[in-house]
Amino acid sequence: MKSNRLFEITTILLNKGTITARELAGRFGVSTRTIYRDIDALSSAGIPVYMNKGNGGGIHLLENYILNRAIFSDRESENLLLAVKTLQATQYPELDIALEKMGALFKNASNHDWVEVDFSSWASLPNEENKFNDIKRAMLEQNIIQFDYVNGEGHRSSRLAEPEKLIFKNNAWYLLAFCRRRQKHRTFRISRLKQLDVLAEKFEKKVLPRPIKEEWYSEQPLIALKLRFKAQVINRLYDYFDDSFLIPNDDGSLTLEVEFPEGEWLYSYILSFGSLVEVLEPEYMRNMIAQRIRQALKIYES
């Protein structure tokens, strides 16, 4: 991404002082012409970057440029990185242009309320609002966390964990941590962490595994599902499934063929579509959904 390259070029210049366009081109795997365009973009954004040709020349920043390592503490640098990663997670379509123009905003420290990122839900209590920041602090300072966790099957259990990585996936935040109870790395959905406490006990970081699915998900047997959805819910389907899982039908409906772990969460998910979905396969799953619909009708009929 161009914005990442521009930020890294600025960092390189702050650390090295002077570098040639050829060196930058080799580092990023682009042409020197692209580097020259990047330098023009940085200059247009208010960053005092200059080029000198000939022997001993190169690209450098104006001496005593205010953006230097000394003005950022370690904590501020970590928060800045988190902010950039958060913007990237939103997949904001004009992020490149926006970041190029942000240099001028840093000169006005009082103008800091133009954006707010809040990871809590609208209905959360005050102690929930700080949960994400508590996890971040525990991870950076290598503190054990204690919490109750409600998994995808609705089971609640107490956990001690070593928080190691935050993951934004499928429109939700997850925590990759070493679970003391399971003695394995597990992925926890942050919205399901309850009664979170950061303990004084420290931990040593372990080698992170490849990304794994949420704990309950990886422990459940998978079943092959075939569902037919009416066209009215196509927006919900595209929020979670790639085109390769969806087969268009002549009447405008879509057939979804996918494997999911079986459990109460799956019945609830299918029922959330109401009359806009039909279970085609397997037959016993079709019967399970019909049974739950009849049970729901009894509540209202009584």
pLDDT (0 to 100) of residue 89: 47
Instruction: Return d(Cα 67, Cα 11) in angstroms, integer.
Output: 9
Position with higher pLDDT, 146 vs 169:
146
The percent of residues in the chain predicted with pLDDT above 90, rounded, is 24
Looking at 36-40, 46-50, 253-257, which range is the least confident one? Answer: 46-50
Tell me the C-alpha distance between 271 and 266, whole Å.
9
Could you tell me the residue ranges of all domains in the chain?
1-73+92-106, 126-215, 220-301
Considering only residues 100 and 27, tell me which one the structure prediction assigns the higher pLDDT.
27
Fold annotation for 220-301: Alpha-Beta Plaits (3.30.70)
The structural architecture, per CATH, of the domain 126-215 is: Roll (2.30)
Instruction: For domain 1-73+92-106, give its CATH number from 3.40.50.720, 3.40.720.10, 1.10.287.130, 1.10.10.10.
Output: 1.10.10.10
- In angstroms, rounded to a whole number, what is the distance separating the alpha carbons of residues 137 and 75? 10
Asked if omega into 93 is within 30° of 0 (cis), the reply is no
Q: Is the separation of the CB atoms in 176 and 230 below 8 Å?
A: no
**What does the pLDDT read at residue 177?**
92
Distance, in Å, from the CA atom of 220 to the CA atom of 262, rounded to the nearest integer, reads 7
Average pLDDT over residues 191-212: 85
Mean pLDDT of 158-167: 91
Q: How far apart are the first and last CA of the chain?
A: 59
- Residue 171, pLDDT score: 67
Residue 149 pLDDT exceeds 80:
yes
Above 80 in pLDDT, residue 99?
A: no
